[in-house]
Amino acid sequence: MSETESIRISDVLRQALPVWPLLWALAVLLVPTLITLGDQIWATELGAHGPIVLVTGLWLLSKQRESFQTLRSPPSWPLVILGMLLFLPIYIFGRAFDLISVEALGAYGAAMTIVYREYGMRAIGANLFPFAYMGYLIPPPGWAINTITSPLRAFVSYTATHGLHYLGYPVANEGVAITIAQYQLLVEDACSGMNSIVGLSAITLFYVYVLHRGSWRYSLLLTALIIPLAVFINILRVVALILLTYYAGDGIAQGFLHGTTGIVLFGLGLMLMLVLDHTLRLILKRQG
């Protein structure tokens, strides 16, 4: 090895050395939380988008490496200390009492504080979307899900049953309880629209950022259409489960087909979003 190569390697090691403690700190915070998320949340429909968000979010951040170096600025140490004093207790409390939403929030806040300590506010501000997008890794607490999904469940139940009743099926509903022939179903949180709203909004925002970030008005329009699209998809899901129950029995509908319909219709939601994007662009192009 030449002397010049030895000098270059030593320079790289000297520059990387101060970063290693921060990388270890990030690993200590994030790895246990990511493992818990994988065990408790990502295996459910509500958190199925988590691995996608993690991979695509890290990809977005990796594409901005030069931006981080160029815009690096000194941090405000009082803010660093304040961030750690705020988020580390939140992380410890959530970890100790197995509150994954609280734990993930504390880990996310502490990780952002470490990034701010290393790169400063200018670099974070210039790459705000990837950091905000990674916030989708924080699962919403149960009480928030119940509050938000309660009216959605009632609306989905009413729309699905009245549509099938109009077609002649012996179906009725009382709140979120649906009766079809001799069977009774409950429109649970999985069919309320919340799962699709969270997952579709995450993936759509990524899609909008990558392809349409130059037009913020169009991006807002496309993003605003996520909620009605997700609710429509869940109405289709409830209709499919009611028909499966009616024709194949409760055991079939509530078995593996219950999850399968969710996956199929989630994929349909993504396809409809792509079709909607293409259609809107054609309409705007003709009007322009």
158, 192 in Cβ contact below 8 A? no
Q: Name the phi and psi angles at 186, rounded to 5.
A: -120, 130
The answer to whether 117 is a known catalytic residue is no
104, 29 in Cβ contact below 8 A? no
Q: Which residues contact 53 (CB under 8 A, 6 or more apart)?
A: 133, 134, 136, 137, 202, 206
Q: What angle do CA 75, 79, 83 make, to 5 degrees?
A: 120
56, 207 in Cβ contact below 8 A? no
C-alpha to C-alpha distance for 241 and 252, rounded to whole angstroms:
9
Catalytic residue among 95, 237, 281, 286: 237
Catalytic residue among 191, 213, 217, 281: 191
The answer to whether 191 is a known catalytic residue is yes
Active site residues: 191, 237
